Structure 1
Amino acid sequence: MEEEFEFGFTEDPKFSVERYEEMIRNHDQYFFDAQAFENIIDYYIEKNDPAKALQVSEYARNQHPFAAVFLIKQAQLLVVTNRTSEAFAALDKAAMLEASDADIYIIRGNLYESMERNAEALENYEKALDLAEETDEILLHIAYVHQNMGDYDTAITYLKLCLKQNMENQDALYELAFCYDVLDNQQESVQFYQQYIDNEPYSYAAWYNLGNAFTKLGLFEKAIDAYDYAILIKDSFASAYFNKGNALVNLEKYAEAIEVYRETFEYEQPNADTYCAIGECYEKLEQMDEARSFYKKSVKMDPKLADAWFGIGVTLDFEERYFEALHFYKKALDLDIANADYWFAIADAEYKLGHLPEAESAYEKVVELNPLDVDAWLDYSSILYEQQRLDVAIEIMASAIKNNPEAAELYYRMVAYLFARGEYNEALNHLEMALTSDPEKHYILFDYLPQLQENKVIIDIINRYTK
């Protein structure tokens, strides 16, 4: 007859695991109390061995058929191994044994949430709220469900409740920032994080999110201060260094930004984005060899990073190596075909190489993708004007003005084209519109057609607006 041993919760968990493994090896039958079984299951979960943990939970259920805890553990493990319907069944059995265990409703809520059955997820989380002692994680999940439903205002309410329960909940802090972002409500975001910091001045995550909110409001000096506090509290916080670098770039402090970007390498592996950002700073400082070397490091790490390929092109363009630049611009474009900036650079390089038809079709693409790019419209029409295709140049300017009715530069250019075509009345009409819009920019007209400085009618009209 098989001998039965009993092992209790007074044992060291490691001892319980050893006894359990011995039992399996010997094909024997030992008796473990509930706590010992829990310890063994947790041991295998920590070892990331859900299959073994499931096997233990089956033994535990046989020996303790009325303990809901093993059905709940089993359900968690079935979720991890994607056996959803079995997980639901285990939870139903657990609810029959112990309906007041919050974990049943939390796991069921998780399952429904992952299936995007939002109403059922919320129903289970609400039940769990009534039963659980600590509710911050449940409140966080309720917020997630509301986010999935596109109801960011309600999500914010629950995230604030979550943080009221547990000021340390980092996920809630980041999710809150995300919701304010989606609602484009940075003012309220700043207000919240400032209040939060008054109560919790050592929360690096709150300082970091405050910095991000200031960045989105264009308050870069304030953002840098906030990132500095985040770094002071957690000096290994690589994301804070990176975002501080971005804020310095916005203030055109490129040399300082490079130093800050480099500091991220002390705390995390260098990555393609940081190399690319450093490359861009060197590019702005017109140190093209350095810039190119960092862009190359970037594409070596991530060949799909279009901006880095583009950056290599910019450095070559700067050195008037247009043909080579074009090659890299096109590599960037292959990765991001709808990027108007890439098309603009290609148009410019093609023009400098004397490839006018190619330049023209690239400019056409730029204004199609970004009809608010005034410079692109001007350059596009210039190519046509240079080829004496005045009618088309005027048509392009008319489209440009239709898309950018506030841009005085476009009216002045239209005046030049209309004069060149001999349409004086129409030209004077546009001149009045240009001067009404921005009288200071009238020099644009003379840059394009210097001979108009001798035209008394035009000078009189301009004087009327500028004196």
Structure 2
Amino acid sequence: MEEEFEFGFTEDPKFSVERYEEMIRNHDQYFFDAQAFENIIDYYIEKNDPAKALQVAEYAINQHPFAAVFLIKQAQLLAITNHTGAAFAALDKAAMLEASDADIYIIRGNMYESMERYAEALENYEKALDLAEETDEILLHIAYVYQNMGDYETSITYLKLCLKQNMENQDALYELAFCYDVLDNQEESVQFYQQYIDTEPYSYAAWYNLGNAFTKLGLFEKAIDAYDYAILIKDSFASAYFNKGNALVNLEKYAEAIEVYRHTFEYEQPNADTYCAIGECYEKLEQMDDARAFYKKSVKMDPKLADAWFGIGVTLDFEERYFEALHFYKKALDIDLTNADYWFAIADAEYKLGHIQEAEDAYEKVVELNPMDIDAWLDYSSILYEQQRLTGAIEIISQAIKNNPEAAELYYRMVAYLFAKGEYNEALNYLELALSADPEKHYILFDYLPQLQENKVILDIINRYSK
């Protein structure tokens, strides 16, 4: 007959684990009280060993058949290990023993949520809200469900309730920023975080999210102030340094941005995005060797980062090494085929290399992907104009105007092409349209066809609009 030992709750949790493992080794049968079993299960959960934790739960249920807590633990572990049916069954048993335990409904809600059965998830979370003492995490889960259902307004309501319960809930702070972002409601986001900071001035997460909202509104100076507060409260906050660097880039303060980006390396491992951002700053400062060195570090770390490959191309293009630049532009394009900027750079490099057909094809792609790119339309038509293909150039500008009816530059260019083709009346019609759109830009016409500066009819029309 096996000997049975009893171990009580007074013992050290580590001792409980040791005695449990000894029991398994010896194939003995020891008795543990409920608290000791909970400690052992928690130990294996923390060790990320759900299989062993489940085994302990089985022992616990056998020794304490009327303790709902072990059925709840079992359900949790079964859910983690994707045994959903068995998890639901364990929860049903637990509910028969202790229907007022909020954890039953939280776990059930979690499972329904992951199964995308949102109505049932909400029903269980609402039950849990009535039973639980601390409800901020439940409110957060309800907010997640509404997000998954695409109802961001309701999600915001629950996130605010969550923060009312627990001002320290970081996840709720970040999720709130996400919801405002999706709704493109940065003004309300700023308002919320400013009010929140009035109550919790030392919340680095709130200052950080406020900085992000200001950034999205284009208020970069204010964003930098907010990031500075976040960094002041938590000086190891790498993301705040990174976003502050981005804000400085938007203000064209590239040298300062480089310093700030470098700060992130003190608090987290260097990553490809930061190397790429530093490379871009050096590029803007026209320090191409430094730029290229950082772009190369970036692609070495992440060969799938298209912007870094593209950056290497830009530095070579700047040095008029167009053939090499093209190679790197195409590497970027392989990763991101629908990036209009990459196609534009390729078109320009092909043109500079004298590959006219390839340049045309690439410009065709740019305007297909981004019909609002005025410069691309102008450059595309320019290639045709240079080859005396005036009808083609006019057709391209005509398409451009259809897509960008407000762009005065396109009308002025059309005037130049129509004059060059000898279609004077049509040219004068377009000149009127160009001057109506923006009389200040009439110099574009003379840049393209300097001889028109001698044309009295044109000068009279321009003077009429300029006055």
TM-score (normalizing by structure 1): 1.00
> What is the distance in 2 between the residues matched to 1:346 and 1:100?
66
Q: Deviations over 1:370-402 (max 9, x none)?
A: 000000000000000000000010000100111
- What displacement does 1:451 show? 0.7
**What is the CA distance between 1:42 and its match in structure 2?**
0.8
* CA displacement at 1:326 relative to structure 2: 0.2
**What is the deviation of 1:453?**
0.8
Alignment of 1:89-100 (within 5 A): 89-100=89-100
Deviates more, 1:21-30 or 1:57-66: 21-30
Aligned mates of 1:78, 1:31 — CA distance in 2:
24
List per-residue Cα deviations over 1:243-294 (Å, max 9, x = no partner).
Answer: 0000000000000000000000000000000000000000000000000000
In structure 2, distance between residues paired with 1:344 and 1:17: 65
What whole-Å deviation, never above 9, does each CA across 1:14-73 have from its counterpart, x for those lacking one?
Answer: 111111111111111111111111111111111111111111110000000000000000
Aligned-partner Cα distance in 1 for 2:177–2:198: 17
Distance 1:368 1:339 in 2: 11
Q: CA deviation at 1:197?
A: 0.3
Equivalent position SS for 2:29: coil
Cα deviations by residue, 1:188-234 (Å, 9 ceiling, x for unpaired): 00000000000000000000000000000000000000000000000
CA displacement at 1:164 relative to structure 2: 0.2
Deviation at 1:419, TM superposition (A): 0.5
Partner SS, residue 162 of structure 2: helix
2: CA distance, partners of 1:134 / 1:151: 25
The separation in 1 between residues aligned to 2:313 and 2:443, in whole angstroms, is 33
Deviations 1:403-424 (A, max 9, x none): 1111100000000000011111
1:30 partner SS: strand
Question: Structure 2, unaligned stretches of length 5 or more?
Answer: none
Q: What is the rounded CA distance, in whole Å, between the counterparts of 1:206 and 1:121 in structure 2? A: 29
CA distance in 2: counterparts of 1:279 and 1:191, whole angstroms: 35
Name whichever of 381-390 and 44-53 sits farther off.
Answer: 44-53
Q: Which residue of 2 aligns with 1:433?
A: 433
1:86 positional shift: 0.9
Q: Distance between the aligned counterparts of 2:88 and 2:251, measured in 1?
A: 55
Residue 218 of structure 1 aligns to a residue whose secondary structure is coil
- The SS at the match of 1:9 is coil
- Secondary structure (helix, strand or coil) at the match of 2:82 reads coil
Distance 2:390 2:412 in 1: 15
Kindly provide the CA deviation profile for residues 414-449 of structure 1, in whole angstroms up to 9, marking residues without a partner as x.
000000111110000000010111111111111111
Q: CA deviation at 1:461?
A: 0.7
In the alignment of these two chains, the number of paired residues is 467
CA distance in 1, matches of 2:452, 2:33: 100
Whole-angstrom distance in 1 between the partners of 2:420 and 2:434: 17
How far does residue 137 in structure 1 lie from its aligned partner after superposition?
0.2
For residues 117 and 2 of structure 1, the distance between their equivalents in structure 2, rounded to whole angstroms, comes to 48
Q: Once the 2 structures are TM-superposed, how far is the Cα of residue 106 of structure 1 from its aligned partner?
A: 0.2
Residues 81-90 or 310-319, more deviating? 81-90
What is the aligned-residue identity percentage? 92
Partners of 1:19 and 1:319 in 2: CA distance: 72
2:131 alignment counterpart: 131
Q: Give distance in 1, aligned partners of 2:417 and 2:20.
A: 90
Partners of 1:304 and 1:69 in 2: CA distance:
48
Q: In structure 2, how many angstroms separate the alpha carbons of the residues matched to 1:72 and 1:166?
A: 25
CA distance in structure 1 between the partners assigned to 2:21 and 2:459 by the alignment: 99
Give 1:81 deviation, angstroms.
1.1
Q: Following TM superposition, by how much is the alpha carbon of 1:2 offset from its aligned partner in structure 2, in angstroms?
A: 2.2
Distance 1:346 1:49 in 2: 53
How far 1:3 sits from its partner (Å)? 2.0
Of residues 43-52 and 416-425 in structure 1, the stretch that sits farther from structure 2 once superposed is 43-52
Which moved further from structure 2: 201-210 or 79-88? 79-88
Q: Which moved more, 1:22-31 or 1:329-338?
A: 22-31
CA–CA separation in structure 2 for the residues paired with 1:366 and 1:102: 57
Supply the distance in 1 between the matched residues of 2:20 and 2:445 (Cα, whole angstroms): 90
- Give distance in 2, aligned partners of 1:95 and 1:65: 13
What SS class does the counterpart of residue 82 from structure 1 fall into? coil
SS in 2 for 1:184: coil
SS at match of 2:235: coil
In 2, the alpha carbon distance for the partners of 1:324 and 1:18 equals: 65
The separation in 2 between residues aligned to 1:15 and 1:371, in whole angstroms, is 71
Partners of 1:459 and 1:48 lie apart in 2 by 81
Please say which of residues 184-193 and 19-28 is displaced more in the overlay.
19-28
Q: Distance in 1 between matches of 2:451 and 2:48?
A: 81
Kindly indicate whether residue 279 of structure 2 is the aligned counterpart of residue 279 of structure 1: yes
- 2:46 alignment partner in structure 1: 46
**1:348, 1:17 → 2: CA distance?**
69
Name 1:457's counterpart in structure 2.
457
Inter-partner Cα distance in structure 2 for 1:2 and 1:449: 105
Alignment root-mean-square deviation, CA:
0.5
User: How far apart in 2 are the matches of 1:20 and 1:397?
Assistant: 81
C-alpha displacement of 1:84: 1.0
Please state whether the residue corresponding to 1:231 is helix, strand or coil: helix
The offset of 1:166, in angstroms, is: 0.3
Q: Distance in 2 between matches of 1:38 and 1:192?
A: 41
SS at match of 2:4: coil
User: Which stretch has the larger CA shift, 132-141 or 42-51?
Assistant: 42-51
Q: 1:45 aligns to what SS in structure 2? A: helix
Q: Spell out, residue by residue over 1:140-172, the C-alpha distance to the aligned partner (whole angstroms, 9 max, x if none).
A: 000000000000000000000000000000000
| In structure 2, C-alpha distance between the alignment counterparts of 1:353 and 1:40, rounded to whole Å | 71
Q: CA deviation at 1:181?
A: 0.2
TM-score by length of 2: 1.00
For residues 233 and 289 of structure 1, what CA distance do their matches in structure 2 show?
A: 36
For residues 395 and 122 of structure 2, the distance between their equivalents in structure 1, rounded to whole angstroms, comes to 58
Q: SS of 1:5's equivalent? A: strand
3-state SS, counterpart of residue 303 of structure 2: coil
The aligned residue for residue 228 of structure 1 is: 228
Q: For residue 154 of structure 1, what is the aligned residue in structure 2?
A: 154
Shift in Å at residue 300 of structure 1? 0.2
